[in-house]
Structure 1
């Protein structure tokens, strides 16, 4: 009887071991530290002009400014150094790692948005947006020497929101732009909301304007704005939207602003905003699937 009992126990142990081996996806799920490390590996490889340094899934896809390229092309050929700024957004639910990164091409700043699609702890897709700022550019980044105010502030107990709730609040931003009024659009801003666009303060303390409040500023109509969800950092309370601002006749002939824009959200309000954007043709689409469903406007 004792031998029989030992045999049954051995079979149970073996079954548990087999089940563990039979679930590689769960075992290889990338946590926050893993996603952060992949972003670091990516930036290191980019600056070194060496994609072979990356843990790549088979048939990895790479886009720059919404165009499919071979990995190693585009900014990979021209980048010369990293800058001092990087802001990460980590979506462990959808296995995506996003960052706004300051890079250099000699004396030209490259404001770089990168999103890594991760599968089994390997990089399966890479989408990027590159905005170049030359030394004679009209707007020179002034706020990329330190973390963006409020973006990394720990969320107070009881103020954290669900993924769906954060997305709903974030989508209030393009809705306000669509109708040209954040108040009528129901966009939820905290009184201290701080916004940095391409390294320049455009709302909140220090914006240098008479109308630094989000509700006080005049905004133009963006009737054809398109938005979808790039990532949701549920732990840090940030939603990253990809947006094409659509036709406004203000970003150059035939162009619209395209952006990866991050919204720090807690307690039902947007508290901090960081965007890197560039003018691209009006017809530019993201060409990647939204991580979460976005309700269609009639």
Structure 2
């Protein structure tokens, strides 16, 4: 007892020496233990409407954006005022509006017009200190790819999203998150097992069209043609192609029973047909890996999902969301030409590309750290086209450059038997493969395109006809500089006999496009990188990115970027052939580095 009294006295004495103010701490990762509630629902909806009005006016100054606002369109960071902001020609007067006073987020679902054509649109804003500091938009345009696209003149947002629920029909924030997340659990590798609680009258609006109830006069291309209602479709296993659903939630409104999430459905398409739970065989609409990015709202009543509204569009497979996770760096790479000459690089490049057929990635001698990208998105080796390529060209064009430590392979690949152009850049130091960058162009993206039938063959030139690597670099840079000059003329080092091909299709001579409509609509050719040079055959290969903002474009045009692998053939110091292979990307997308 004496010990306890002594200890208590000592503790009391030491406590007297402490400051009178109590020590406080906030939760990890939070700026304050008391959340900022200076902008609640009405305030958030007001700022959301300010954003929409500014978009309609094409004028960011009409909304209170923070000086450091981060803006993305289809998961690509660009400057506020770019992309759709330059091409928008109309905005719906009424959209689905939701907000969360706890997280400071608000979202809008509806449609816009872009260069006169309808597009489905959704946006998330985040507000801090009375300013919009984040804008995340998803824009779905009509294209040759299969996806729902409703008649925007008939699109109706269910009014129940705005109705306040009686207390007995509400659920806590945490329970609502669990219910909404169970929807994505059900969609992921959908095999008939249903984790989510659905109301009997559950309905889903995707890109402005109901996909749970048949549309009169419409057949095919809609899940409602096979099964009606949310639960019935999932019990049938219609969405088995969803290998992975990456997602999170940023809005929960307990009073109205609304939860809103964002994410990606990764369609690995590692197989091109599958069975429904009723035994019916289905075939995948696309034969290659792809992802859709989405914003999706759920109305939850009596602990059941009652209504769903989503806006989604295609992005390159495994695209990241920069608000969640930035791009990773490609590991550094140092070529060793003394240990591996051009013939060595050529042979290795062919072997590496051959290993894609049948997903034999383990046959490659990898470096300790490896970078791998498809259409400028970093992914894991063994995923993506590794899992779907059934054959590769036996007679490709290969440009090997030991000084750069790179080999470029151009030719035909087949994905579940469907042909496409492939351009592979393989980095090799004589022992290990350090990186692979893959560009794939499929016919579904439209002209110009000709089905590949082997790479072009270029014979060695006589010594007198050859051009030095330095001179080829200078000439191609002047070519790109002219492309970047509005109304620019073709440089003098372009032969009058030069022909230009894009994705295997001849598009004409190399001189007349300069000053013409196509190059006039080009904003810039950027991030140019020389991949490989072959002086003996007069070849130099670049990787570039071409931005087309579609400002003042024809109806149906929209902002986009091409990743391009471009081959120049020189003879006698002049460009006599240009062959480009491109893949469409969201506007402003940067290279994976």
CA separation of 1:171/1:139 partners in 2, compared to 1, >3 Å: closer, same or farther?
closer
Partner of 1:20: none
Partner of 2:321: 286
Q: How does 1:161-172 map to 2 (within 5 A)?
A: 161-172=171-182
Partner of 1:220: 239
CA separation of 1:180/1:119 partners in 2, compared to 1, >3 Å: closer, same or farther?
same
Cα deviation for residue 153 of structure 1 reads 3.9
Alignment partners' CA distance in 1, 2:36 and 2:138? 32
Cα deviation for residue 134 of structure 1 reads 6.8
Cα deviation for residue 248 of structure 1 reads 4.0
Equivalent residue of 1:232, what SS?
A: strand
* From 270, 279, 287, the counterpart of 2:305: 270
* From 150, 167, 174, the counterpart of 1:141: 150
Alignment partners' CA distance in 2, 1:289 and 1:234? 24
Which stretch has the larger CA shift, 243-252 or 29-38? 243-252
* From 244, 252, 259, the counterpart of 2:264: 244
* From 94, 106, 117, the counterpart of 1:108: 117
Equivalent residue of 2:80, what SS?
A: coil
Alignment partners' CA distance in 2, 1:215 and 1:164? 23
Q: Indicate the structure (1 or 2) with the bigger Cα radius of gyration.
A: 2
What CA deviation, in whole Å up to 9, does each residue of 1:97-150 have, x standing for no partner? 111131101332121111111001211111111111379x97441475432264
Alignment partners' CA distance in 2, 1:206 and 1:156? 33
Alignment partners' CA distance in 1, 2:147 and 2:185? 28
Which stretch has the larger CA shift, 99-108 or 86-95? 99-108
Tell me the TM-score normalised to structure 2 length. 0.42
Alignment partners' CA distance in 2, 1:163 and 1:27? 18
CA RMSD of aligned residues (A): 2.7
What CA deviation, in whole Å up to 9, does each residue of 1:14-58 have, x standing for no partner? xxxxxxxxx9x9787112111111111111111111111121223
8 Å CA contact retained: 2:257, 2:301: yes
Alignment partners' CA distance in 2, 1:151 and 1:85? 13
Cα deviation for residue 206 of structure 1 reads 5.9
CA separation of 1:31/1:90 partners in 2, compared to 1, >3 Å: closer, same or farther?
same
Alignment partners' CA distance in 1, 2:262 and 2:68? 24
Q: How does 1:123-162 map to 2 (within 5 A)?
A: 123-133=132-142, 139-142=148-151, 144-148=154-158, 150-162=160-172
8 Å CA contact retained: 2:121, 2:139: yes
Which stretch has the larger CA shift, 97-106 or 271-280? 97-106
* From 62, 65, 87, the counterpart of 2:71: 62
Which stretch has the larger CA shift, 199-208 or 120-129? 199-208
Higher relative contact order (CA 8 A, sep 6+): 1
8 Å CA contact retained: 2:204, 2:308: yes
CA separation of 1:47/1:149 partners in 2, compared to 1, >3 Å: closer, same or farther?
closer
Equivalent residue of 2:44, what SS?
A: helix
Partner of 2:293: 258
Equivalent residue of 1:124, what SS?
A: strand
Aligned residues between the structures: 266
8 Å CA contact retained: 2:75, 2:322: yes
8 Å CA contact retained: 1:251, 1:279: no
CA separation of 1:69/1:125 partners in 2, compared to 1, >3 Å: closer, same or farther?
same
> Does residue 174 in structure 1 map to residue 153 in structure 2?
no
Cα deviation for residue 271 of structure 1 reads 0.2
Unaligned runs of at least 5 residues, structure 2: 1-31, 217-223, 270-283, 326-593
